[in-house]
């Protein structure tokens, strides 16, 4: 019974910190697009231009840096309660997050492209002046996939409990 409670507590903590990560990362990501378009006057309507791709990559990299720093320390302390070697765990964590970062980068771009075929600017809903376009929906869909994959890697490899 205690092991079941521990497993559920760990899963709840992971989901809570995953939600926090998305909550912090999404505004960073979307903020880069807003800065590029509204402050720097970079046209981003055409998702196939090199300019759009450059802004997209910058947004992904900044979001990744912010969220990886927050997530490593939160998972180590509050989710997996690890006392393992911090340097080794940090290297493994960053390496695994680089893998899922590139997965995120490619998958999000692909989903944006596919959604752009269907969700055109003319039919994109706007809430409080913010367009809920392909970028937002793609980030949310791919974030779910990445959260699940990161949990499996963290639990089974990075913060694995050692016997003994």
Hey, where are the domains in the chain? 2-158
Q: Which helix (H) or strand (E) holds 130?
A: strand 130-131
Q: Are 33 and 58 in contact (CB under 8 A)?
A: no
Residue 73 confidence (pLDDT): 94
Does the structure show a pLDDT above 70 at 10?
yes
pLDDT tens across 65-116, in order?
A: 999 999 999 999 999 999 999 999 999 999 999 999 899 989 999 999 998 8
Local confidence band at 14 (pLDDT 50, 70, 90 cut-offs): very high
112-122 in b/e form (b: 16+ CB < 10 A) is: beebbeebeee
Q: Do residues 1 and 31 touch, judged by C-beta distance below 8 A?
A: no
Q: Is 126 left (phi over 0), alpha (psi -120 to 50) or beta?
A: beta
- Looking up tokens 């912010």, which residue turns up? 66
Report the C-alpha gap between 139 and 115 in whole angstroms: 11
Buried b (16+ CB within 10 A) or exposed e, 7-42: eeebeebbeebbeebbeebbebbbebbeebeeeeee
User: Is a pLDDT exceeding 90 seen at residue 31?
Assistant: yes
Give the whole-angstrom CA distance, residue 162 versus residue 83. 10
Phi, psi of 73 (to 5 degrees): -70, -35
């Amino acid at each position: 019974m205690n092991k079941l409670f521990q497993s559920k507590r760990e899963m709840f903590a992971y989901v809570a910190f995953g939600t926090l990560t998305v909550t912090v990362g999404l505004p960073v990501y979307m903020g880069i697009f807003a800065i590029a378009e509204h402050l720097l006057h970079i046209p981003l309507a055409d998702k196939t231009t090199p300019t759009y791709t450059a802004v997209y990559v910058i947004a992904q990299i900044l979001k990744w840096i912010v969220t990886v720093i927050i997530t490593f320390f939160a998972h180590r302390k509050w989710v997996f309660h690890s006392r393992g070697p911090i340097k080794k765990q940090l290297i493994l964590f960053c390496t695994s997050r680089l893998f899922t970062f590139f997965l995120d980068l490619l998958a999000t771009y692909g989903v944006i492209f596919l959604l752009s075929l269907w969700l055109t600017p003319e039919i994109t809903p706007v809430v409080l002046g913010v367009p809920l376009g392909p970028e937002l929906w793609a980030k949310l869909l791919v974030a779910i996939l990445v959260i699940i994959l990161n949990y499996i890697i963290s639990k089974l490899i990075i913060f694995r409990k050692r016997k003994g």
